[in-house]
Structure 1
Amino acid sequence: MKKPLLAGAAMAGMMTTPVFAQSSVTLYGLIDQGVNYVSNVQTGRSGAGALQGQHQIALSDGATGIGGSRWGLKGSEDLGGGLRAIFTLENGFNINTGGLAQGGLLFGRQAFVGLANPYGQLTFGRQYSIVSDMLAPLSQAGEIPGHMGANPDDLDDLGHSIRINNSIKFRSTSYGGFVFGAMYSLGGVAGATGRNQLWALSGTYANGPLSAGVGYLNARNPNLSYFGTNGNSGGDTVNNMGSAGSATAGQTNTLYAGFASARSMQLAVAGAKYKFGAATIGATVSHLSFDDLGDATSGPNPLHYSGTAVFNNGEVNATWAFTSAFSVNAAYSYTRKASVGQYGSATYHQGELSAAYFLSKRTELYALAIYQQASGTDSLGQSAVASITQLTASSTNKQALVRLGILHLF
């Protein structure tokens, strides 16, 4: 699926005094709605503590769809000499309830202001990681399945699950096909400059049919600085990375939810994509580590982990455009979690098939199917259960999703 094009009417700045700089504000948005069938969703635990699950059929909006329903405002003011002031305010919402997404934040998807010139742009506020910004188009999540097609529990953030607060981001313009970017997030903790800080670097190259890129991100206290940035996030006594469930609630993000006590996190991603006529083939590899487990100032550690938890992931994807309006995508990913202390390793296989048909430039019908199978021991110290991105985990090692949806841009 092509990334949404911003649509809307430009609005001239209104002032009672003479206007010397041209300015504009654009309203845009996306609505994603569909019906999900999930083969197994955890519903809680039995009296003996065993995981319980049932199949589910539900009307599910973009928060668990491929695009994420949103509306936003983008602004630009010409300051002269090639310099512009820019801003973006973007709200996420649930079309089925009218509620706010991102834990109830008004502009939870993005909120930033900055300056741009012919060399690039520098922005400040709540923003996507520069790594996911630049590498996501090379992944399966950059195609028809979007966010739901991300690797298990979106462990490498190529599905744009994460927003970074208090961040400074620079992204260059293209120099002969090369684009580079950097990001730094201030921790803001008095007397502890390094606590909760985050930094990242990324670069891509595009020339004709070939696109490629690499990125690296380093986060201190990731339970707080990286995963704990939504409105309903808590402090270092709360697990912001996922949930171990309860007698009446299912688990989430089981791949890594048990590693909230990591003092730091490192993520490295590389990818490439090549276009052959109507076909496009891509691949990504990612390496994720949660380092120095057992830091009480980062998050809870009920399993008493220490050392480092390591994930490696590889995925391949292919898209075929039969016409300008109809295309099909297929992808496969393999994820491995190394053993940590007394707890063994885990592996995850995920396959995806999806199709999209554009009724117009702004309205798309789509269908997707995702199947995931897990084995080994996951981060919660249990027999690994399947966990498709944005879904409550399965009560078994298998989970399948079928979704039929409609996406409309405005």
Structure 2
Amino acid sequence: MAHVQKFTRGNLNGLSIHLDRKTDHHSNEEIDPTKTYLNVDLCQKEGDTLSRLNDRLKEVYCMKREDVKVGCSWIVTLPKTLKEQNESDQREFFEKTYAFLTERYGGGKNVLSAQVHLDETTPHLHFVFMPVVWDEKKQREKVSAKEVLNRNDLQKFHGELDTFLKKELPTIYKDGILNGETIELDSVKEIKKYAKQIQEKKNDLSKELELFSEPKKVFDQVEKASKKSLFGDKVTLPYSEFEKLKTLSLSGIKLNNQLNQVSEASKKDLTALKKEVDLVEQEKTDLKGQLEQANQRADEATEKVTYYLDTLENTLKTGQKFKDQAIIYKSILKDAKIPFQISEMEKQGRLILSKVENGRMPEDEQKAKKWISVLEQNKEAGTIPLNRLESILEVLKAFLEKLLNKELKFSLDGLKSRDTELKKNQKPTHSNSMNRGR
């Protein structure tokens, strides 16, 4: 009915895509996108799983390691007995389960998500929380999945959840989850291991039971052979009949002892068998968790591929737009009888004009001088309209002058600073030494 998983910060990115249904491309074929609108997040906090995670991490201590389990998730499936119940009863089951889990794991501040997925074959709750404990030594909250989901918690979880739900939902939750219906194929194999031993005990007991196959007949024979004395309550029996009666009595005692031994052995066998079943259940839970993680990684990869395809499509559209514009401009130039071929000098000049007009200035003095030189050459050649060219030249010359003044100021400040330092470190003259001596 329920199993648990632990997640690192990296895992939770894929988990959020799956839980919050951030994509329409699901690797899990059981998801019906037409029913996704029916899903409910019982956690009413703002944001999604990832934003809630980041907000809570700001409030607690967490080691800066990629393998730290910052999130845990219990997946609780709707019991078979409730599948035929109405929607209201099913929702009440999930709400009570959410209340139990919230209280168990530190309250609402640690809850990251509580999505009830109704768009899959079997309705289930994903309860995601941050495993937080109180660090008594350092007097602060810290993240520790190992301390929260310890062996004691996992062993008691199903039983305590079952007890809680029976108390809270007495009318709709009657059968519970601990009803012995979870035995798998591996447990049946375990049972078969004891078949030979059971058969041997059965054969031994059968021999003892032969005397009891027709007990009335045995007692009738004994009664017929017995003789009651005239005085007192004594009964006399032939020795052979007495032996039968004695054998019957001893066999009964022996049978009773053996039954007690078998009963005790069976209890031990059942205890060992239950442990094996628990291990199989845990392995099954782990495998299911690994499958869930694989599905989440597949969803994340699909999301990335979709993003890159969209980006590529937009880039191709933009490229086609520029290509169409180039064809149009070329056609206009042809109609105006302006030669389309231009010199390399004019190309550089027009690129410089475009950069300056769009607010991109040269990085340093050397580049500024080069830009001015290229524009001066175009001015002499008459390749670019003069009014546009001269306005940009004025801007560049003013920018260059500003650069030079800034460098000059830095140089003067440096000289002044150096001069002050030299004066401080200057050794006293001979005359000053003599004056101090007097």
Structure (1 or 2) with the greater strand fraction: 1
Structure (1 or 2) with the greater helix fraction: 2
Per the TM superposition, whether the score is higher than 0.5 is no
Task: Select the structure of larger CA radius of gyration.
Answer: 2
Q: TM-score, normalised by structure 2?
A: 0.21
Q: TM-score, normalised by structure 1?
A: 0.22
